């Protein structure tokens, strides 16, 4: 047992990362039933969708689980910048025999601007609520605590971690630069780019709050390593993508099954915020030097999703978004419960 397992009511110091677009209630429930902490992502939906997802998890497990919210600065529309971005993408659309959308929209709402989501969380009181990209105002944190929720938040640097601790959050997730998916940086213009091991040790040595290491951890040996550095647990995302309970696409799965020759990189061109994924034309062509300013997150995501939809309709996967961490070649294909059991055995044997 660690400080984290006691706090979260779990057997193993393992958290399945939320992974919007990949995690499902079925995946979260299977992970939680196996003694770790399963997670679902609520940031891309409305309160009604969040309620349905929480209730679905509860139908599948009575164990603790985590729900994740995006606490980013709300997008600021800029029609001129968005028009230039669409013109930048026009050749890619036309190469597919399609046209770019006439305008872009904010495809989902920041938790910071969504009091309806806060009310839903207070009413449903999920065991754990995690925050990505920033923090809500103190009264919202107090309301979630009063509802009985354990709170976690992502830090990519010591200043962010200190802000999280000062806000009274219960757990700091130390997201290293190796991590797949969107970087949890508070200010997207300031990238610390600190690796998982260095960040974990730094935060564990400076904070009183439990630290969870995230980024590049794919097996029990990796979990054991971060525990030695002072982490109270580890969060794994890419390791769970090949589980049958995830909603990863067939193309995403195939890339992880045959990883030879593939690489990851970080780009803001997918969504307007830096994210790590498997490199394709979104990285190499759209994100090549000299492109115009990218619209705010998540407005830019609207363009990427439209481009991918046009490509997929023609059987082209060059513009798909396949988020993954640097350890992606270590992904294993097995049911989520079996993976948790394997991770726990490897961690104990190390």
pLDDT per position as a tens digit, 305-316: 999 999 999 999
Question: Percent of the chain having pLDDT more than 70?
Answer: 99
| pLDDT score of 84 more than 80 | yes
Rounded to an integer, the average pLDDT of 226-245 is: 98
pLDDT per position as a tens digit, 255-271: 999 999 999 999 999 99
CATH code for the domain of 233: 3.20.20.70
Task: With respect to residue 294, please indicate whether it lies within any of the assigned structural domains.
Answer: no
| pLDDT score of 350 more than 80 | no
pLDDT per position as a tens digit, 136-178: 999 999 999 999 999 999 999 999 999 999 999 999 999 999 9
* Number of domains into which the chain is organized: 1
Rounded to an integer, the average pLDDT of 196-205 is: 98
The pLDDT confidence band at residue 2, using thresholds 50, 70 and 90, is confident
Task: With respect to residue 315, please indicate whether it lies within any of the assigned structural domains.
Answer: no
Distance CA 98, CA 311 (A): 9
User: What is the structure's pLDDT at 349?
Assistant: 86
pLDDT per position as a tens digit, 309-339: 999 999 999 999 999 999 999 999 999 999 9
Task: With respect to residue 10, please indicate whether it lies within any of the assigned structural domains.
Answer: yes
pTM above 0.85, yes or no: yes
Task: With respect to residue 162, please indicate whether it lies within any of the assigned structural domains.
Answer: yes
Burial class (CB in 10 A: 0-12, 13-18, 19+), 288: exposed
User: What is the structure's pLDDT at 282?
Assistant: 94
Task: With respect to residue 36, please indicate whether it lies within any of the assigned structural domains.
Answer: yes
User: What is the structure's pLDDT at 1?
Assistant: 63
pLDDT per position as a tens digit, 63-82: 999 999 999 999 999 999 99
List, in order, residues 6 or more apart from 276 with CB less than 8 Å away.
178, 179, 180, 181, 183, 264, 265, 266, 323, 324, 325, 326
Rounded to an integer, the average pLDDT of 102-116 is: 96
User: What is the structure's pLDDT at 51?
Assistant: 98
Question: Percent of the chain having pLDDT more than 90?
Answer: 98
Task: With respect to residue 323, please indicate whether it lies within any of the assigned structural domains.
Answer: no
Per-residue exposure over 80-114, b if at least 16 CB sit within 10 Å of its own CB, e if not: ebbbbbbebbeebbeebebebbeebebbbbbbbeb
Task: With respect to residue 177, please indicate whether it lies within any of the assigned structural domains.
Answer: yes
CB atoms within 10 A of CB 348: 11
Task: Find the domain containing 161 and state its range.
Answer: 3-74+109-246+329-349
Task: With respect to residue 260, please indicate whether it lies within any of the assigned structural domains.
Answer: no
């Amino acid at each position: 047992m660690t400080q984290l397992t006691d706090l979260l009511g779990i057997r193993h110091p393992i958290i399945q990362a939320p992974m919007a677009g990949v995690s499902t209630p079925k995946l979260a429930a299977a992970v939680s039933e196996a003694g770790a902490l399963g997670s679902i992502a609520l940031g891309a939906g409305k309160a009604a969708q969040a309620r349905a997802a929480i209730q679905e998890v509860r139908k599948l497990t009575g164990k603790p689980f985590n729900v994740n919210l995006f606490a980013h600065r709300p997008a600021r529309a800029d029609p001129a910048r968005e028009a230039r971005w669409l013109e930048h993408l026009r050749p890619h659309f036309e190469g597919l025999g399609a046209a770019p959308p006439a305008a872009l929209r904010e495809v989902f709402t920041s938790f910071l601007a969504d009091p309806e989501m806060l009310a839903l969380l207070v009413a449903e009181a999920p065991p754990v609520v995690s925050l990505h990209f920033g923090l809500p105002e103190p009264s919202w944190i107090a309301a979630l605590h009063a509802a009985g929720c354990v709170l976690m938040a992502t830090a990519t640097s010591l200043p962010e971690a200190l802000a999280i601790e000062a806000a009274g959050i219960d757990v700091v997730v130390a997201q290293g630069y190796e991590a797949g998916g969107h970087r949890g940086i508070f200010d997207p213009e300031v990238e610390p780019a600190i690796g998982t091991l260095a960040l974990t040790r730094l935060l564990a040595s400076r904070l009183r709050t439990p630290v969870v290491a995230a980024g590049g951890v794919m097996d029990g040996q990796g979990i054991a390593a971060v525990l030695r550095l002072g982490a109270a647990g580890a969060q794994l995302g890419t390791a769970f993508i090949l589980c049958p309970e995830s909603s990863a696409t067939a193309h995403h799965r195939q890339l992880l099954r045959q990883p030879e020759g593939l690489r990851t990189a970080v780009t803001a061109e997918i969504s307007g915020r830096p994210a790590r994924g498997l490199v394709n034309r979104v990285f190499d062509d759209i994100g090549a030097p000299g492109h115009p300013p990218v619209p705010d997150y998540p407005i830019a995501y609207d363009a990427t999703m439209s481009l991918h939809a046009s490509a997929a309709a023609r059987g082209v996967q060059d513009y798909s978004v396949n988020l993954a961490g640097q350890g992606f070649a270590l992904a294993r294909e097995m049911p989520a419960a079996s993976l948790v059991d394997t991770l726990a055995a490897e961690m104990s044997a190390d």
